[in-house]
Amino acid sequence: MPNTNSDYLSKAKNWAENTAFDKNSRQEIIDLLEKNDEKEIEERFYKDLEFGTGGMRAVLGQGTNRLNKYNIRKAAHAVSLAVLESKPSEPKAAISYDSRHFSFEFAKEAASVFAANGIKALIYKRLNPVALVSFAIRHHNCSAGVMVTASHNPPEYNGFKVFWADGAQVTPPNDQNIISNFNGISDYGTIPYLEFDKGIENGLIEWIGEETENAYYNTILENSLGRDLCKKDGDHLKIVYTALHGTGLYPCTRALNDLGLTNLLTVKDQDQPDGSFPTVSSPNPENAEALAMAVELMNKEKADLALGTDPDTDRVGVAFNHEGETIYLNGNQIGLLMLHYILTQHKKKGSMPKNPYYVKTIVTTDLQAKVAQSFGVDVENTLTGFKWICGKMKQIEETQPERNFVFATEESFGYLNHNKVRDKDGVASIALLCEIALYNKVQGKNLAQALDDIYEEYGFANETLVSLNYYGKEGADKINRIMENFRQFSEKSICSQEIESLTDYKNSTNKSFINEEIKPIDFIKSNVLGFNFKNGNKLFLRPSGTEPKIKFYIMIQEAEGSLEEKKKKAHELASQIVSFVKEESEQA
């Protein structure tokens, strides 16, 4: 065994000897101790799992820094304590799960802990997207909810996503209460637990059935702004869809068929749920590689577009052919198309609600804001993540009920176009995106041409995302160094762009690079930096809250020249900044 007095070794020994864990769980750690695998032991025990922007997400395995049924129980108990502290008259929690390894088992573990705490657990009979757990919370007046998922992470991950009574992911103070509860649980053996079958038998655990699902699909149908067009001409749009082995097959095909978009093909080899995601390196529809089989089928069948969703069906990617090239839209472009279509249709129909507003994140393109303002729609900015977007919706709902929500989007391929769910909704987004594609097709246009129409009217914007992965404890330290180096950045320009100011959302300050003046800002605190350039361009960076990576968001606007000239200049500048941030990060 390793000859060290490190805290993580002590934790490993305790795990190996703790009878609160079953024999197999203990043996996994005993094997590591006997092999003297100090590096792996350190990775598993150097810290406890933490709640990030999306709850808890980690590599599967035994240990305090791994996702396993014991940490699921610990998390569910932490949520239970927070629920009970709020003193609901009939405490209930909704649960859904994706196709990942152990997702169903973990969902039942959470239900067993909720039930043991006297909280009725409502769990879907079949795996379902994240939008349906949010919908179920609101539909059944639950106090909280859980989605067992690691979204689009690689197969070795799973996660525990927590929602509150409004159907949105937890925000302050509830998230801090849950974190405090979680950190306060030191003895796994003290966590209340009721066997799942006994919970079903005594009514503390119930299955969520088709009534709830049907109500959700009716919401999508009722919210469509082009139902008549879809019923009349829906078969003119040929669609390819891939679920990427996740939860999306039934929900997305159901929603499209309900609308009348029936000319639909699916990628058969990716239809069925499979937590190994055998046909892709990562089930992330943001990446062209994940859509490869869908694009191949699109080309073979001469379809109009190919779409894909991630395992929990909250992110949507799209590809189509234009001028002999396969085009993959980024999240900002998809959101721009959706926003412009929604507002255009409301204006045509005279159905724009009074006092309309839409919500975006600070790292989502400002071109969307320009479009919204041209229609008289107010723009709300939040931190990255739909927990903050929906938190803003709740705040407005409670303090300014006369205002009406029309749309929300973030650059990471998440969208929401209705008010019955409080998280990004990939099912509704698939339906909306196909509706937009049909609307443009009957006018002789594809989505690229529709985008260019928007660019011609409002100006061109280019957004580039750089994600740098750094794994384990060393990686976390590296990310901290990168953030601090940029926080202390003193040069007056980046790639010949003069810096006007640096906004530090962690320290709630905005520092002028013109006169060195530092002013406070009134915004939610988060470890985010934003460089604001004199020409209107922006560079943001932040550590991911759910993955071992740091993200850089390069946002460029071009106002001069033809559209092609604007695109060329923007792409050249983006390439320069990409090289710059990579070099700076490498040296940290």
- Tokens representing residue 560 in the block: 């001069």
Beta bridge partners of 457: none
Q: What's the confidence (pLDDT) of residue 546?
A: 72
Q: How far apart are CA 152 and CA 544, in angstroms?
A: 13
- Tokens representing residue 514 in the block: 């013109």
Tally Cβ neighbours within 10 Å of residue 183. Answer: 13
Q: What's the confidence (pLDDT) of residue 1?
A: 38
Q: What's the confidence (pLDDT) of residue 54?
A: 59
Q: What is the DSSP letter of 67?
A: B
Which helix (H) or strand (E) segment holds residue 269: the answer is none
- Where helices occur in 352-467 by DSSP H, the ranges are 366-374, 386-399, 426-441, 447-458
143 is catalytic: no
Closest CA relative to residue 521, chosen from 530, 386, 513 = 530
- Tokens representing residue 71 in the block: 């940490």
Q: What are phi and psi of 372, to 5 degrees?
A: -60, -45
Return the sign of the alpha-carbon dihedral for residues 34, 39, 42, 43.
negative
Q: How far apart are CA 240 and CA 232, in angstroms?
A: 20
Q: What's the confidence (pLDDT) of residue 472?
A: 87
> To 5 degrees, how large is the angle CA 512–CA 514–CA 516?
50
Phi-psi region of 385 (alpha: psi -120 to 50; beta: other; left: phi over 0): left
From the centroid of its chain, how far is CA 89?
A: 31
The domains found in the chain, sorted by start residue, are 47-208 (3.40.120.10), 209-458 (3.40.120.10), 460-587 (3.30.310.50)
Q: What is the DSSP letter of 114?
A: H
Burial (0-12, 13-18, 19+ Cβ within 10 Å), 102: middle
Q: How far apart are CA 76 and CA 69, in angstroms?
A: 10
Q: What is the DSSP letter of 62?
A: S
- Tokens representing residue 24 in the block: 């197999």
Alpha carbon separation from 209 to 166, 172, 216 (Å, rounded): 21, 32, 12
Q: How far apart are CA 146 and CA 99, in angstroms?
A: 15
User: Over the chain (588 residues), what is each successive 10-residue block's mean pLDDT?
Assistant: 63 94 96 93 89 78 96 96 96 98 98 98 97 98 97 92 96 89 92 98 96 98 97 98 98 98 98 97 94 98 98 97 97 98 98 98 96 98 93 96 98 96 98 98 98 95 95 93 97 96 97 95 94 96 88 93 94 97 96
Burial (0-12, 13-18, 19+ Cβ within 10 Å), 437: buried
Q: What is the dihedral of CA 344, 349, 354, 355, to 10 degrees?
A: 0
Is residue 326 helix, strand or coil? strand
Q: What angle in degrees, to the nearest 10, is found between the helix axes of 366-374 and 331-349?
A: 0
Q: What's the confidence (pLDDT) of residue 4?
A: 44
- Tokens representing residue 475 in the block: 């990686």
> To 5 degrees, how large is the angle CA 364–CA 365–CA 367?
145
> To 5 degrees, how large is the angle CA 575–CA 578–CA 584?
145
Which one from 103, 112, 143, 151 is the annotated catalytic residue? Answer: 151
Phi-psi region of 167 (alpha: psi -120 to 50; beta: other; left: phi over 0): left
Q: What's the confidence (pLDDT) of residue 571?
A: 95
Give the global pTM: 0.92
Q: Where are the beta strands (DSSP E) in 50-201?
A: 56-59, 92-97, 120-124, 144-148, 157-164
Alpha carbon separation from 568 to 227, 358, 556 (Å, rounded): 38, 30, 12
Q: Which residue has the tokens 């107010």?
A: 378
Q: Where are the beta strands (DSSP E) in 505-548?
A: 509-512, 518-520, 529-533, 538-543
Burial (0-12, 13-18, 19+ Cβ within 10 Å), 553: buried
Q: Where are the beta strands (DSSP E) in 205-299?
A: 205-208, 239-242, 264-266
Beta bridge partners of 144: 93, 164
